[in-house]
Chain A
Amino acid sequence: MMKRAMWLKASVLTSVFLTGAVLTACGDDGNNAVDGGANGEGNGEEEVTVRLTGWQSSPTEQRYLEETIEAFEEEYPHINVEMDTIADQYMDVLQTRLIGGEAADVFFLDAFEAPRLIEAGVLEPLDDYITEEFDVDDFEEPLIEAFRRDDQLWGLPKDTSTLALFYNKDHFEEAGIDAPPETWEEMEEMAETLTVDNRYGFGVVTDLARLYFIAESHGGEVTVDNQANFTDPNVIDALQPIVDMRNEKEIAASPADVGAEWGGDMFGTERASMIIEGNWMIEFMEDAFPDVNYGVVEVPTINDNKGTMAYTVSYSMNGASEQKEEAWQLIEFLTGKEGMEIWTSSGLALPSRQSVAESLEYTDEAIYEPFIEGASYATVWADDTNLPIINSNFENQFASAFLGDQELEEAMEEAERVANNEIDN
């Protein structure tokens, strides 16, 4: 706390960074011109470096990505890919780099955040680069749709992840339940049987990213015209059971309730018998909790409707890139059939191309099946420019309703009011 020198700066925090940003931006413009001239001629065989920025959630992921990039470099020997990862607060860092003119040529972009960057005009539209051979129609329609805006394509989905229900087989056996639940009602009943003193039947992750499809399962809409619409009675009706499971029936808890870092931690340490999590859990469980005997099924149906979430991340191109041609070649390879096959063979993420999904064979088919099935009816976690604001306000208020500090209806009213107030400003 007593870092006065530092905090003196902090009181003018914005301006310090800003001056820096503006200065570098100006400086770079000059440089670009020079670099562009030097590079422009030697497009042929001269070595070109393309920078790629992303995040990394596990060493395995890193290994597979490196493998994919090696395959690319083999095919395009004159292109050298320089990969760097942003460990935390990816969007803040990326945005600051874009402002400063320091961003990579190609970067990961979550569908959830994409509209804001597209609107800002910092991305390169990809339509003109796409060839017939690339077969853009092969991508799953809802996934690629998340990156289309103003009739242009601003990124190509590198993969997708969906949610499914993980259940602990040993707990089920103990409780004398022989089959995993198929409907939400069954799931609640089982959760009740499964709850014992130090263990909850069901783990709930309280993010909007996870609950979006549940919130809309009764016919309500969470966002309308790029504004929050949480007070829709259908939305509240749909979310109420989740809150009741914790506060009335006491058969569910969030990872934070039991001191777990996230859902995987909660399920792995056997403090929840069931949890809705993504396919990234599979590798995590194998690494961290190989002894937990679990199964995966599709998310239980709500009102006889199947539902789940799908997340997708694209490779997008920096509009200010100096090597657009090479940058495209990288994107083309990574999201092309060959590159995607290498990348998604890890099982960490599912292919976003139909042809790859069909040809890919997983060693443990039964575990992957529910995720692949889910992709066909999933709600994609993407909306419009204001989704991040809507999301953070939902999270804040829903968490407090979930903890029982206020009624869900009140919380949703508050969340909607604050979110839309922030949007209007």
Chain B
Amino acid sequence: MAKWKLSKSQLRETGQGYLFMSPAILTIVVFLIGPILFALFLAFNRVNLLGDVSFEFVWFDNFTRMANDERALIALKNTAFYVGIVVPVQTILALVLASSLNAGMKGEKWFRVIYFLPTLTSSAVLVMIFMWMYRPDGLINTLLSGVGLPTYNWVNDPSVALISIMIMNIWATAPFFMVIYLAALQDIPDSLYEAAELDGASGVQKFWHVTVPLLRPVTAFAVIMGIIGTFQLFDQSYMFSGGSGGPNNSTLTVVLLIYQYAFSNNQMGYAAALAVALALIILTATLIQRKLQKDEQVY
């Protein structure tokens, strides 16, 4: 009990502490905690904002509705497919790019800059450029047919539209993780490689048995960040489909669906419920990933 009794000076000190923190606390409460609580509140209400503003408490109706919402299931399926492909590919690609840039080639600083450029490009600009290249008579099809490969209607064919977005995003995001891998690679002591060499390890063996295990914490970071980022795919599919998630719902993602319900269909309550559900899904995915890699958590 005595522990909780504070002397006057201690009280003053505490007060001062909170006073100094108050701008930060206020900002967090207004812009972070407040909205989260409000979103939770909305998720349990039927909300009408246009005209007569009304909130009607509906318990779990918004959540049970999801089970019967065809488009929500399609969106979830598309998003999961997208995460399942993009996260492994971009992580492996980043690792390969980083190791090749760490091998001591000539002019590798330049390559680092060049590889990093896509990450610096705004996603809107990126989508515009890619949509132009993806045209049926565009650059990519010209190249493909030039070497005798089949061509695709990248943007308008429902069976490839999402894959087009995947290619674009992997291209844009892999370099970001590459930079993180690069930094980690420089941290691996040379002595380990020397020791491996003395034991007669080949280049591939060194990569598999020294580099990859030592990069595990970074890989965990890249995978988790990748999962969070890819689950929230919105801008690319929005621009690709002009906001509709078409053709044939093939580029409909969960966040795009949330946007549609919130801003086009005026169903804020249901949109908030979907947002809460997505947050839970991401949380679960992240927890599973952490369980699988429970050693060495650096994030």
Contact = CB atoms under 8 A, between A and B. Distances in A.
Please determine whether chains A and B interact with each other in the same assembly.
Answer: yes
Interface of A: 1-4, 7, 10-19, 21-22, 25, 89, 91-92, 95-96, 98-99, 116-117, 120-122, 256-259, 388-389, 392, 395-397, 399-400, 403, 405, 418, 421-422, 425
B36 A120 contact: no
B199 interface: no
Given A13-B259, A89-B243, A418 B71 contact: yes
Interface string B33-58: 01110110010000011111100000
Contacts of A421: 68-70
Nearest to A121: B51
Contacts of B243: 89, 92
A395 B246 contact: yes
A203 to B, nearest CB: 14
A120 B232 contact: no
Contacts of B282: 11
Contacts of B98: none
Interface residues of B, number: 63
Contact of B42 (A15, A92, A400): A15
Interface string B125-152: 0000000000111100000000000000
A12 B123 contact: no
Contacts of A259: 135-138, 153
Given A11-B279, A117-B50, 13 more contacts: A2-B173, A4-B228, A10-B232, A13-B259, A15-B38, A15-B39, A18-B49, A91-B264, A120-B266, A121-B52, A388-B264, A422-B69, A425-B69
B202 to A, nearest CB: 35
Nearest to B52: A121
A287 B275 CA distance: 45
A98 B228 contact: no
B268 interface: yes
Contact of B51 (A4, A7, A16, A120): A120
Interface string B18-39: 0000000000000100111011
Interface string B241-275: 00110111100000100110011111010011001
B185 interface: no
Interface string B199-234: 000000000000000000000000001001110111
Interface of B: 31, 34-36, 38-39, 42, 48-53, 65, 68-71, 119, 123, 135-138, 153, 155-159, 169, 172-173, 176, 225, 228-230, 232-234, 236, 243-244, 246-249, 255, 258-259, 262-266, 268, 271-272, 275, 278-279, 282
B70 A256 contact: no
Nearest to A91: B264
Contact of A4 (B71, B225, B258): B225
Nearest to B273: A14
Nearest to B248: A400
